[in-house]
């Protein structure tokens, strides 16, 4: 149902003439728009980024569903933008669309100092080494139980049975969220990053309604935790934190959404990506089995190869010249981590999945600078534990068909991956 007072944030006049067979090497670069989810859903984007890195590494797209924007596609340029928060702001948004004026979702990933720094500091203890060490046995037990329960000798969807379930359980643990309702977290995470009309939600309105439901639910939890003595879960930490206890509820929602998405889609798609990659590169799986001490390397290589968040956006605070191009004050700038992670000037044979590569932790997937992923160790730990438990149980996880990919240029991941585990 449409709301008569509602104004869309999107450029409704923009028409995207999508051709899945478009040739990356001959297409007209002057109008090339890499922000379309179709390219990611159909897995056709790689040669376009390869061409941009070679021919136009700081590229201007004059029009898109969210207006004009720049694409930065080379590793070192991305690093330069990401570490320069004085000239590249994270406000008002780190995705291409700006917040709706009457439904802002303030979150610290989309804030600049000093507010960013204060809020980041409040949630950091949840992912501090001592807290992670406490969580490790819980995650291990849950991962083990899920893996023990997979059907043997039958094809099943790895994404739903393992990746989603495990990361959702983890998130429910972080929030001390009612266990039976935990799949709501999965839904809210998907909704939060969904571009209306591209798969998950039909409209901004639907997205807003579902997020309101999320806010109401968490408001209830906040009230409950605020009255009780402090506990080491995220909601209690926010409800009792000196700098956060009086935050407006909309800001609370924004930061929750940030933590839900941060701790959910990214790890989920890394877990699936590792299974898929080891099937595409079976010699790497053989290496892993022979040397399980390579698991930490597998984790980092997966996170580079998969790049679960394809980009982050910044907004230029002043005019900036880059590679002879003038990025004007106010322009949107997209740092395509997914492209920088395949830049062969920095990463050798980048399209290969190589668990013994040198400097395996050198990748852009967690970003850099003041916004560098606060949950990176937690994400890595989950992936490490899953593989430690997989190797204890299964000889092989066989991928039985191509994955269905997410319809988004932001969350780079999988909707389904059919697999079989020997009986
Ligand atoms: C920020 C990726 C796991 C919470 C980020 C950023 C990226 C990212 C690219 C932005 C960096 C930048 O702008 O420079 C990933 C990947 C993960 C992962 C690839 C897993 C493989 C997690 C987990 C959590 C989390 C498990 C949950 C605790 C956050 C938060 C921020 C963030 C709160 C905002 C930090 C800030 O603005 O200061 N993440 N993330 N992430 N991530 Fe993660």
The pLDDT tens digits along the chain (423 residues) read 233 333 345 666 677 778 899 999 999 999 999 999 999 999 999 999 999 999 999 999 999 989 999 999 999 999 999 999 999 999 999 999 888 777 777 889 999 999 999 888 877 877 888 878 888 888 899 899 999 999 999 999 999 999 999 999 988 988 899 999 999 998 988 888 777 776 778 888 898 899 889 989 999 999 999 999 988 788 888 888 887 788 887 778 787 788 888 878 899 999 999 999 999 999 999 999 999 999 999 999 999 999 999 999 999 999 999 999 999 999 999 999 999 999 999 999 999 999 999 999 999 999 999 999 999 999 999 999 999 999 999 999 999 999 999 999 999 999 999 999 987
Residue among 219, 212, 228 at smallest CA distance from 252: 219
In contact, 159 and 414? CB cutoff 8 Å = yes
Which of 373, 380, 384, 385 should be mutated for ligand 1, with most atoms under 8 A from CB?
373
Angle between helix 204-227 and helix 183-193 axes, rounded to 10 deg: 130
CA 366 to ligand 1 center in whole angstroms: 6
- How many angstroms separate the Cα of 290 from the Cα of each of 68, 131, 295, 302? 50, 32, 11, 18
Q: Which atom of ligand 1 is nearest to the CA of 258?
A: 33
CA 266 to ligand 1 center in whole angstroms: 8
The phi and psi torsions of 127 (rounded to 5 degrees) equal -115, 20
Pocket residues: Cβ below 6 A from ligand 1: 82, 108-109, 120, 127, 258-259, 262-263, 266-267, 270, 303, 308-309, 312, 365-369, 371-376, 378-379
Which of 88, 262, 268, 371 should be mutated for ligand 1, with most atoms under 8 A from CB?
262
Q: Which atom of ligand 1 is nearest to the CA of 270?
A: 21
Contacts of 413 (CB under 8 A, 6+ apart): 265, 268, 269, 272, 273, 306, 308, 405, 406
CA 398 to ligand 1 center in whole angstroms: 30
What is the residue with the minimal CA distance to atom 5 of ligand 1? 373
Query: Domain 29-326+367-421 is in which class?
Result: mainly alpha
Return the domain boundaries, the chain: 29-326+367-421
CA 256 to ligand 1 center in whole angstroms: 13
Task: Rounding to the nearest 10 degrees, give the CA dihedral for residues 375, 376, 382, 383.
Answer: 150
């Amino acid at each position: 149902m449409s709301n008569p007072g509602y104004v869309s944030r999107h450029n409704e006049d923009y028409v995207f003439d999508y051709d899945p067979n478009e040739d990356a090497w001959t297409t007209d670069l002057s109008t090339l728009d890499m922000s379309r989810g179709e390219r990611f859903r159909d897995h056709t984007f790689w040669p376009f980024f390869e061409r941009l890195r070679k021919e136009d590494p700081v590229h201007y797209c004059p029009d898109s569903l969210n207006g004009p924007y720049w694409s930065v596609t080379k590793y070192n340029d991305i690093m330069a933008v990401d570490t320069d928060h004085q000239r590249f702001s994270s406000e008002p948004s780190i995705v291409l669309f700006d917040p709706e004026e009457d439904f802002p979702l303030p979150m610290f990933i989309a804030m600049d100092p000093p507010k960013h720094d204060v809020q980041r500091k409040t949630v950091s203890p949840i992912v501090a080494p001592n807290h992670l060490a406490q969580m490790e046995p819980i995650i291990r037990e849950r991962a083990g139980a899920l893996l023990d329960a997979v059907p043997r000798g039958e094809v099943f969807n790895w994404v739903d049975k393992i990746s989603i379930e495990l990361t959702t359980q983890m998130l429910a643990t972080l929030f001390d969220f009612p266990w039976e309702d935990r799949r709501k977290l999965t839904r809210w995470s998907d909704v939060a990053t969904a571009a209306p009309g591209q798969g998950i939600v039909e409209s901004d309105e639907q997205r807003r309604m579902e997020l309101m439901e999320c806010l109401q639910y968490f408001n209830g939890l906040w009230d409950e935790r605020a009255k009780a003595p402090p506990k080491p879960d995220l909601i209690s930490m926010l409800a009792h934190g000196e700098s956060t206890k009086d935050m407006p509820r909309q800001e609370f929602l924004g930061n929750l959404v940030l933590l839900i998405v941060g701790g959910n889609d990214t790890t989920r798609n890394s877990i699936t990506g590792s299974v898929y990659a080891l099937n595409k590169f079976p010699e790497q799986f053989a290496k892993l089995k022979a040397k399980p001490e390579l698991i930490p390397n597998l984790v980092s290589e997966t996170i580079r190869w998969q790049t679960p968040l394809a980009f982050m956006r910044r907004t230029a605070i002043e005019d900036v010249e880059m590679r002879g191009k003038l990025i004007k004050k106010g322009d949107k700038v997209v740092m395509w981590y997914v492209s920088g992670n395949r830049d062969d000037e920095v990463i050798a044979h980048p399209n290969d999945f190589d668990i013994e590569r040198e400097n395996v932790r050198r990748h852009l997937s967690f970003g850099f600078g003041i916004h560098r992923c606060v949950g990176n160790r937690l994400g890595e730990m989950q992936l490490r534990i899953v593989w430690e438990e997989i190797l204890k149980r299964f000889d092989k996880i066989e991928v039985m068909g191509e994955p269905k990919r997410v319809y988004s240029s932001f969350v780079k991941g999988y909707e389904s991956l059919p697999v079989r585990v020997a009986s």
